[in-house]
Amino acid sequence: MYVSMKEMLWHASVNHYAVPAPNCPDFNMVKAALSAAEKEQSAVIIDLSPRQIHFNATPEAFAPMVKALAEPLNVPVALNLDHGAEFEDICRCIKAGFTSVMCDASSLPFEENIRRVQQVVAFAHAHGASVEAELGHVGQAADGDGRSDDMYTKVDMAVEFVERTGCDALAVAIGTAHGKYPADYVPRLDFGRLAEIKSALGEDYPLVLHGGSGAGDENFKRAVEGGINKINLWTDYSAAFVSAIRDYLAENERPDYLFVSTNAEEKGAEWLARYMRLFGSAGRYQFGEGKMEETD
């Protein structure tokens, strides 16, 4: 099923689990994510950033591809623009068929962030798409970002932000960062702040964790318990594909690209399936008498 992210994350929020959102800039990564979702009976969100669109895909080509792959499945699949910054680019993705978009104006002043998200929400909701926004700052792991609470989401500002923008999900900054962390470094997340934000916004309001790669299993578990309902994964998901390709090439003197790519798909799906189980999204969509039934 090809669906909006709003209802998917509402279900995750009220049932206390998180949906994985791997960035999938090509056909093989999309197929791997959908294969894992179908096997694990899990929802999945396909993220695609503006940078990845620039290098690998146009919205007008990508959205129909994901929709065609998702519609025959009996699990919900959303296609989300990740870290959309320019209004024109966001509108282009909505018109192309993305079911959700992120308006990321988190680096701008509070009032300007609100103004831009309000603008996107009005357009997206009119076209049946949902909107994710970000408050606080999730920086770059290699730069040591995410270690200062100056960057963290403030509870009172989160309440005002959601009320004034009407965004459907909020990405919060509680200590994670984008990219690959230095060796042996595991981020220390502010779970107390997360609990306060969740309580203030309501138990049925979805929260998002960016910079998920490298956060560690225990952090993931506690984040989901604390109210996170979408976890973005790119760096480690990408690394799983790169590792699979390297292993295959090392073991085969005359590699065939068809087998290189399908082997990477299988390994990528296995990697993602583990996180579906860890986040609690596995087994949430079960089947009986030809129709999907959502489990509680």
Active-site annotation, residues: 82
CA distance 153 to 143: 19
CA distance 177 to 115: 25
Contact 19, 212 (CB under 8 A): no
Compute how many other C-beta atoms are within 10 angstroms of the C-beta atom of residue 127.
13
Compute how many other C-beta atoms are within 10 angstroms of the C-beta atom of residue 58.
11
Name 214's Cβ contacts closer than 8 Å, sequence gap at least 6. 141, 180, 181, 186, 187, 235, 236
Residues forming a β-bridge with 77: 2, 44
Instruction: Please give the backbone phi and psi of residue 189, each rounded to the nearest 5 degrees, phi first.
Output: -95, 150
Name 258's Cβ contacts closer than 8 Å, sequence gap at least 6. none
Q: Among 57, 119, 35, which Cα is nearest to 85's?
A: 119
Residue 65: both structure tokens together: 């591809």
Distances (CA, A) of 97 to 79, 128, 203, 218: 8, 10, 30, 36
